[in-house]
Structure formats: structure tokens, C-alpha cells
Structure 1
Amino acid sequence: MATLKALAQPPTDKAADWLVGAEDSVTFLKANAQSEEIVIYASGPAVLIHGVLAPAQQVTPADQEDLMHCFVETDESWVIQKSYGGGEGHKVYLEPPLRQGGKSLSGGEKLIFRRSFHGVQKGESPVELSQKLVHSLGLHFVSERNAYCRLDDRGDIEDVIRILRTEFGDVRESLTAVTILAKDLSTYMALANMALVFMFDFTRVARDSFNGWGDHNRIDRSAPDLFYHGGGIANASYVNGRMIVRTAIPLQQLIDDWKEESNPTKREYATFKIFDRKNGVEIETSSAPEFLSNYFQESNLPWEISPAFFRPDVLHRFKSDPEKYTLDDRTISCRNAWYLKGYDINEAGQVHAYIGDLARLPIEEQRYWQSFNEWSKGPISKRAHENDIMGEFSSEYDPLHLLKYKIGKLNDTPPAWWLPRSSEHLDAARYPATDSTFEWANEIMALDQLVVEGFQLKPLRKVLEDKGAKAEPSWASLRVLGAILVATGLSEDQAKTTLTPLSRLHGLRSTLRAHSSITEKDKEERLARSTHGTLRAHFKWLAGECDRAFDAVLRALDAGDLNP
């Protein structure tokens, strides 16, 4: 955009040279055609660039006279045309853009549209893109990026077509440009058998002293794919012409590239330390298919379902970016990129996954996991053994899974006293993967937001009143729940004991995540470690206590048994 701005406004120190140097703008066009990101449209002071597509055979070679007489307005679009006469009577028909494009542009495609909604729309006309182009390239408009985007093979958002705008200070003028990645444009042009035709005009004048062109020096330039005329006087200059850009990617190259991508012999694989379940030994081996076997093959090679073990912080990247990664209890996926099934965490705190599943990840992702790989410190989790090896449902008590299940059921038909928890709340609540205090504090907060914050204070007060009691104005939701438990027959002490886990969770969140003193936070951490060994173990215990308390509250609120 900086280069375009330099074309659109004079530099303060060399304004006189800029005014007479309009032909210098052609240098930008030549460089632009060779760039990785191509400007296909630009409109602003002293700059007009408008690219349209023409059938390649109709501009090979270019009919320069025909093209110089073509001019395509930016607001030209599809219309319902009506005509009468010529012996044909009344006619109504669809007419495409480029209808004034001469024989060279006939059957071509317009890429940029700027239509005006007269009397309604305020400000500049919006920039619209050819839907054929946008859909073919698999693009979606992302407003906060002001770009048409897609997900790349790493799951990251990639700007393919950008809409750029800049203002020029106090003169109330602006420059609007549209760019596209050259590779994508070349791909589209190759498949559509089109060439890009730039119509350009660079006109520079001194506004305070320009009185018209009069008799001025003229220039004419003519090369096969770049031709223009221009001229200038002492305080103004212009160039107006056409430039043809042809695809840099032949159709056969697209076919060859696809063959290369789908060739299994070209795929790369990382090496992992694994426990070879078949032979009962620890080995280091490639994840490539030729180094592995399955239950149905006669071989001494390790099974694909042999586990590799990893330091628990391998999960940090996935937990910290929930927009990009989906982390379920047993699976991890990266949007539009890859999927890993069968991971879990064993009693030793190690993350484990099967080497056959790791082999299906992109090589960059395999190498990421490889950097956390270590020898096993214990067997795979009980849940993984029952699910994956024995083919059975897990017998292991999973309090967080049960809490999410019950909350999901409440969300389906929420009582007045329950504020449905969003999918983001459900996804955010997870067991800590590591023994990090920061991760533990985050998971405590997520669990509190999932469970405690779901209870609605005013409807709970109404429930209590219906049971013949009344809440004090200062009571919060947990205190009202305690009174409801008493109203259903529990003693004050029993109600307090029942709700202690939820109260403990809520208080712990305040201590760990609010502006508490370092001393208080350290005290809670030491207590959790001394009582349960690890912060992960403490969290699992607390989740279990909260699950039992949640069941008691649901019974008191006549919500029934929501256990699966």
C-alpha cells in the first residue's frame, strides 16, 4: 500500500518531479505483475488500475486498438436488459458485464464491482468480488481482516484477497485497493483459460495551477503486452493504457503438483520412542507404514496401536488456542488440517498417543509431538486400555465428563433457575494436563464458570419462597441453594456440608484468579499438593466432590436424576 500511496500523492520534497513523472507509474505495474501479491484494482488520487479477465486466445496476440477503445466501469454488472425494435418486438434477457468490452473482452470476467445504492448508501461504494472467483478459491469474507480468507494446511487463517483503504489527511480523499495472491490468481486463470487485462490511468496535475492540457508533448509506447499513450506539460502528466498478464502456472503443472501431493512415497514421517506392545519392549522407530504392522499381518514389526509417551506440556498449544484446536476428552483436531484420535493421560501424568495415529498427522505436527517424546513412566491410562485395547466402555469414574453431561441435559430444557452454559464453557472446562499452577488456576476458573455461574439468583429466590422460606437480600446463589436444601429436610450442617465443594470451588477461583495476595495463592497451592500429590489430582478430586454436590442440588430443585 505504501508504494500505491507514493503514486497517488506527491512527495513534499520532490513535488515538481512527481507531477511530470506519470510514466514512472508503469514501473509499478511491471513490478506488480511479478509480485507474490498482485494489485488487481486501485482507485484514488492520480491512480486508476482496473483488472478484468479476457479469454486468453482473444488477447494472443493482443488487438491493441480494440483494447484501447475498451473501458469497463467499476459499477458495470449483470443486468436484466429490455429492448424493443429491430423486427424482434419486445425482449427481456440477462446481459453480463463487459458488454462494452469489444471483441477482446467478449466472454471475459469482471473481478471487481462497486455498485451504488443511490439515496440510501452513505460514503464510498463497497467493494464486491466476483463470486465465481471467491467460491472457486474456497474463500470467505472475514470482516475484521477486511479480506477474503481460507484456512491453510496448518489450520491458520490466510488472507488471499485483501481490500485496503487509506485516507489522505485533510483533503478528504482516499485510496482503495484490492490485492490477490499471485499463485491463486494464476491457478484460476489457468483453469479458466483467461488472461488478466489491466486498464490503467495515472494522471497527475497541480490542482492550484492546472488550466488544461492544451498543446502538450505526447508519448506512445507499444510492446506486445504493454501499450499506452501519455503526455505532459510543466505541471502535469498522464499515461493511459493496457497491460496483459498471463498465468505463470500451466495447467499441466497443476496436474503434476496434485499428483506429487497425493504420492504416498513423498510423505515424510518422524521417529518416536514407543512401547512395542507386540514384542513387549521399548524401541525407537519411524512412524512410516513400512515400519509398522497391525493385528492381521504376520510380522515382527510393532503394532500401529503401540503407544508413544509425551511430556504433558505437549497439550499447552492446543489448550491455549480453542478457536484453532478442538480438544476433546480423547481426540484433538486442528481446523481443516488434521485429526488425532486416541490420546489420553496416564497415572504418571504422561500424555500418550498411538504411533499409527501420529503417522497420519502432517510432518510439521509430527515433529512438534516428537519434541516432547520420552520413554514411558507407566502404562497407558485405564480408560484407554478398556476403550482401545479391550473394546469396552470405560469403568473409570470421570466426574468432569459426568458434570458436562448433566449440564448439557439442563441446557436442552433449562429450568428458570439455570442459565444455559455455552459450548465455549463446556469446551473450556478440562483437567489440567501439567502440574502448572497457572494452568490449574485457569481450569478452576473454567469449572466454576461451568457449574456455579449457571445458577440464577432471582429464580432460586422464587423456588425458596415457594417452599415457604425467604432469602436475605445479601445472599448469593450458593447461600440460597443452602436454604433450599434445608427447606427439603436437611439440617443446617448437612446443607453446608453438601454445598462445601461448590463453595470451595468458588472461593478457590477468587483466590487464584482475583487480586489475592501471593501468600494466599501459595498457601492454596501447597495445600493442594500436600493433600493430593499433584494439582491435576487435586482438580480431579474437587471435580468429583462438585459432581456429587451437583446431584444433591438437582434433587432438591426437583430436576430429577440426570446421570446417564
Structure 2
Amino acid sequence: MDLLNPEKLIAISQAPNDSEAFDEWCSQNDILPFLSEEAEDEYVLIYVSLDHVYMYALLVPDDVNLEDHGNDLMGWSSNPFSGWSLVASQDDVWIERPCQSEGSEVLKTATQIIFGRSFEGHTSDSSYFEVNQEIIQVLDLHYVSERNAWCRLDQHGDIEDCISVLDLKGGRAILVKANVLDKYCAASRTKLLRMFDFTRYRKGSFSGWGNGQDESDLPKHDGIAMRLTVQPGVGSYSRGVQLIEPKMSASSVCSETWGINDDQREYASFIAQDWKNKRIAEISCAPGATVNYFTESDLPFELSPAYFRPEVLSKYKADRQKYTLEDRSITCRGAWYLKSYDINEAGQVHTYLVDLRQLPYEEQLHWKQFNELPKAGLSKRAFTTDFEGQWRDEYDALPALKSRLRELIKAKCPWWDLPNTDQIQEVHYPVTASRDEWANEIMALDQLVVEGLNQKWLKAKAVELGQKPSATMRQLKLLEACMVGLGFEEEHAHGLISPFHELHNLRSLVRGHRWGSDAASESKRVLHEFGEYKIHFKSLCQRCDESLELIVAGFSEHEIAAQGGN
């Protein structure tokens, strides 16, 4: 069934008003096609409780079949609100597992998928559902309340609903993603068994079943056994079971787990610098298309670099919850990892074919659309660390600033704190000519540096240092007052705080990307003075870092002096 469009299910649960249409509806000719088609959908129903429709599914051993066990299974009568129970006789007590009183001997070995629970202590709906812990742990599923579903991260790092509870008019339905359940079934040597019950009549005018009922066992159809009773003009009721075989085998699950089928993956080709053969060529990143340094071959090295327009990184900056953009690497939550990238003197992003190989094919295609001829070679940093094997100890403003802030967190600094330490990782250099990207990074830097200042502590400290802060003074003015109180000349103190004022004022101008005349003028000034947004941003980070170093030293010297006086 379509998870986002349950109209087919809703349609079969509603009685038509027209008499002729009602008689056709009561014939239940639509049931077998519905069950067969729905079993082939992306999502499969495992529980339905609606007007005129009831369905419930369990997992049974894979040797269960309708030929040998059909009569036994037709006696099945249960619902998900049965489960593990404590049973006691007059002189003994024991735990009884689920499915022991279902009216079927076969089902005593079944596995219950969902468990209906009820608790009057809940302030909202007292009934709710849980999923078999073995199933969700094996499949690594987790309940996400806002989606009302048990979810996982897919190969792209997106949240994927795997077992969903739908609240529909008149009842509920629970669906499971077929290929996810197939994996568990294949590994556990089970298959899905659904019991269904379609009882059709006119609500409000039904007085019961009378004489003249036509009862029949329909021929088995696509793993379905069904018994139908029709009373013309009154209604009908059917009862049946359906066995659904998993579309995945145990051997295919084994191969997937060990990555044996990786040779079936697709790989993109990139314009790359083939150092080995002294050429620029389009080279596949597939295994076998390149070699390492220790293999004698005419094939390019797997460390051949490919170059990209800087916009390739915009996707990862735009979703900081999903992607973690480090100084040299990119991680997509629970999905993939790009081990190494850097930016050369021409502003191009570059990475190696061997690292592109590790990305999903769709992600490789994202990089391919920004692939271009090299305008310069590797960055000095990449060449030094990746090929010379040396640590590059060169000052870089933003990493230095981040490092200093981490030290403040580690030291439990009272005047600057950051409730969400992930913010440190969320600030990056702007790498494109987009002023929106520049604005985003300005706001992120301001949230990191300025919003981390503890206004209450700074005000108290300024008073302690003999200053008289006004009621309207905010963090930066209070920090400046503290510097004066620590012995800095007023002009020097103002100069120390000026980079933070510049940052905060810029953030105010570009907030929400409202490019008014003042913001536009400031953007033009930055480009005129620095040439690129990145150069301006790096300069601003350096000035903030240099000021922060003196501010930290000032507070530290005061604290040491105070401790010495005690």
C-alpha cells in the first residue's frame, strides 16, 4: 500500500449508498485482487482495524503452506492485544509465550510482530503499539514519535519509515516496508501470514444474519485461502489467510552483509589528474580502474585527484543536521564518509578517486556535476599531509579560533559557555561567490562566538571590577567594561572587542538574508576591500582569535592574582 495515500484501503471499508453498488460490494469480488496487489507493494499491511475490515499478521516458519496447514490456519482467531502472560494454577505459575491460544496448532510456533498495549495512566490515547524487540533490534529500527513510525537511516542518511502506524477515520492501520521485513524473514527462515476478515453490511440498518446464506470456500488464489458467506440484500462476511513469501533469500542477506555483491555497484567517472601517465583524463573511480602505488600497472593511481567547483559543498552546508562538514572530511549520518577533501589556491575543491569510490553512486553523481578541469594543483596542505606524510603546522584562523573555544569549554570558562557544542562544527569558511553562503557563515560564527558570552556573569564581574554598567548594556559592552576593569586602556579595550562588534553588526544586517541597502552596501565593501568573501571571513576569524587570546589572558591573570591574594 502507498504509505502516503491509503485511499484503496479506505475505499474497501466504506459501504456504497446505491443498492446495485452495495450488492456488488457485498459480493467481495474486489478482495482477492486487493490482497494480491497489496502484497506486492512497497509497504505491506500487517494490521488493520476499520469499519468492515480486519487484518492481522504474524510470522510463521517458512515450511508452513496452505496445502498442508490450510484447515488449521482457518481456525485462527486472535489480535495484537494478546502477548506474553503470567499464568497460574492452584500450585504453580509460569510464563506463557504469545500465540498459544490462537485456535491453531501451527501458530504456536509463530512470531508476533506487533503488540497492542493499553494503559489507563496515559493522558491521551490509552492504547498504543509496540514492535517485537528482536525484530527492531535486528533491523536497527528506532521509534520516532513525530512520525509515529519505527525508522532507520537509508543509504543517503535520510530518515526512512519502516513500520508506520496510520490513524485513519474509524480505526488504525500498521504497515511495514516489505524489503525491510523480507530481510528479517530471510534470516529467520519465516514468512508473513495474514488473517483477514471482511464483514460487509449497512451500518444503522443491520438487524442480523437471517436464512438464505450462501457459504462457499473460494479456490486458493496466490497463496490465499478464503471462505465467503453472502446473504443477498443483507450483506456478506469472509474469512481467510494469506501467506506472503519473502522476496529475499538467506544467501542474498549473507552476501549483502559481507558486501559480496559490491561488484554490482555502479561507479561514476571523473575528469582527474593522472599523475602517473602525465595527463588529464576521464577516469572511473570503480575498483579495478585504478591501482595503488605497490601495483605494477599502466592504470592511474587511486590517489589521482579530481577537481570540483566550490558549489559542490553547498549541499552539505545547507543541511547541517544531516551532514558533518569537518575541515578535511564529510560525514553523512549513518550512511557514508568522504575521507579527504581540500581547497586549492584557485578555490577548487579536490578529492581522490579512491575516496569518491566509497560514496553511494547517487552521491558520486552529485560530485560529477561540479567536476571540472584543474585550474591549479593540490593545496599545499593536502600535498604535505597526504604525500609527504608531514604535519602541516601553519596558522589557519578558523581552526585556531575553534581550538581556542574548545579549550574554554574544557576549562569550564564562566564567561563564555556553549550549551550546544555541535555549533563549533557548524561554522565553515564560505567557499563560493554566493553572498547567501557568506551570510549563513556570518550568522553561524556570531551564534558561536557572541551568543556564547554569559551576559549575567559579565555584568556581575564588571561591577566587581569597579565598573558601573548600565541596565541596557549587552554582552559585548559588558565584556569591554570588564577589560577596562582588568586594567586595559579604554581605547585598547574597545579595539579588542571591535572584531566581535563587526561580526555582530554584520549578522544584524544579513539576518534572514534581508538584503536591504545597508546589507548590500556592506557586501560590496567587503568584496571591494578583500576581493572574496572567504578572505574577509578568514580575516574576521583571525581578528576574533587574536582578541580572544588577549581576553582569555586578561581574565586568567586576574584569577591568578586573586588566588594569590587569598
TM-score by length of 2: 0.90
> Separation in 1 of the partners of 2:323 and 2:515?
34
Any residues of structure 2 matched to 1:154-303 within 5 Å, and which? 154-167=156-169, 174-224=170-220, 225-252=224-251, 254=253, 262-263=260-261, 265-278=263-276, 280-303=278-301
C-alpha spacing 1:45/1:429, structure 2 compared with 1 (3 Å): same
Deviation for aligned residue 1:299: 4.6
Deviation for aligned residue 1:433: 1.7
Deviation for aligned residue 1:373: 1.3
Q: 1:3 — aligned with what?
A: 8
Matched letter for residue 128 of structure 1: E
Unaligned runs of 5+ in 2: 1-5, 560-566
> Separation in 1 of the partners of 2:419 and 2:130?
38
Moved over 6 A (4+): 256-259
> Separation in 2 of the partners of 1:408 and 1:140?
32
Deviation for aligned residue 1:453: 0.9
> Separation in 1 of the partners of 2:299 and 2:64?
61
Matched letter for residue 51 of structure 1: A
Deviation for aligned residue 1:501: 0.8
> Separation in 1 of the partners of 2:408 and 2:130?
44
C-alpha spacing 1:193/1:292, structure 2 compared with 1 (3 Å): closer
Deviation for aligned residue 1:222: 3.8
Structure 1 residue 326 corresponds to structure 2 residue 324: yes
> Separation in 2 of the partners of 1:423 and 1:373?
34
* Counterpart pick for 1:37 among 36, 43, 48: 43
Percent identity for Structure 1 against Structure 2: 38
Unaligned runs of 5+ in 1: 85-89, 168-173
* Counterpart pick for 1:76 among 73, 82, 93: 82
Aligned residues: 549
Deviations 1:134-190 (A, max 9, x none): 2222222222222222222222222222211112xxxxxx22111112233333333
Structure 1 residue 395 corresponds to structure 2 residue 393: yes
Question: In structure 2, the residue corresponding to 1:545 is in which secondary structure?
Answer: helix
Question: In structure 1, the residue corresponding to 2:450 is in which secondary structure?
Answer: helix
* Counterpart pick for 1:533 among 531, 534, 550: 531
C-alpha spacing 1:36/1:290, structure 2 compared with 1 (3 Å): closer
> Separation in 1 of the partners of 2:326 and 2:32?
55
Matched letter for residue 286 of structure 1: S
Deviation for aligned residue 1:515: 7.8
Deviation for aligned residue 1:316: 0.7
Deviation for aligned residue 1:483: 1.4
CA contact (8 A) 2:85 2:97 kept: yes
CA contact (8 A) 1:213 1:233 kept: no
Instruction: Indicate the RMSD between aligned Cα atoms, in angstroms.
Output: 2.6
Deviation for aligned residue 1:119: 6.2
Deviations 1:83-128 (A, max 9, x none): 24xxxxx332221111113212121111222122256575351122
> Separation in 1 of the partners of 2:255 and 2:8?
36
Question: In structure 1, the residue corresponding to 2:209 is in which secondary structure?
Answer: coil
CA contact (8 A) 2:486 2:555 kept: no
> Separation in 1 of the partners of 2:537 and 2:444?
12
> Separation in 2 of the partners of 1:147 and 1:291?
42
Greater mean alpha carbon deviation, residues 150-159 or residues 286-295: 286-295
C-alpha spacing 1:264/1:247, structure 2 compared with 1 (3 Å): closer
CA contact (8 A) 1:22 1:203 kept: no
Matched letter for residue 189 of structure 1: C
Any residues of structure 2 matched to 1:349-498 within 5 Å, and which? 349-498=347-496
Q: 1:99 — aligned with what?
A: 100
Matched letter for residue 245 of structure 2: R
> Separation in 1 of the partners of 2:256 and 2:491?
72
Deviation for aligned residue 1:514: 5.5
Q: 1:171 — aligned with what?
A: none
Matched letter for residue 51 of structure 2: P
* Counterpart pick for 1:115 among 114, 117, 139: 117
C-alpha spacing 1:33/1:293, structure 2 compared with 1 (3 Å): closer
Greater mean alpha carbon deviation, residues 346-355 or residues 364-373: 364-373
> Separation in 2 of the partners of 1:515 and 1:357?
35
Question: In structure 1, the residue corresponding to 2:330 is in which secondary structure?
Answer: strand
Q: 2:65 — aligned with what?
A: 59
> Separation in 2 of the partners of 1:268 and 1:241?
44
Greater mean alpha carbon deviation, residues 446-455 or residues 264-273: 264-273
TM-score by length of 1: 0.90
> Separation in 2 of the partners of 1:398 and 1:489?
30
CA contact (8 A) 2:73 2:106 kept: yes
> Separation in 1 of the partners of 2:212 and 2:60?
34
> Separation in 1 of the partners of 2:51 and 2:477?
67
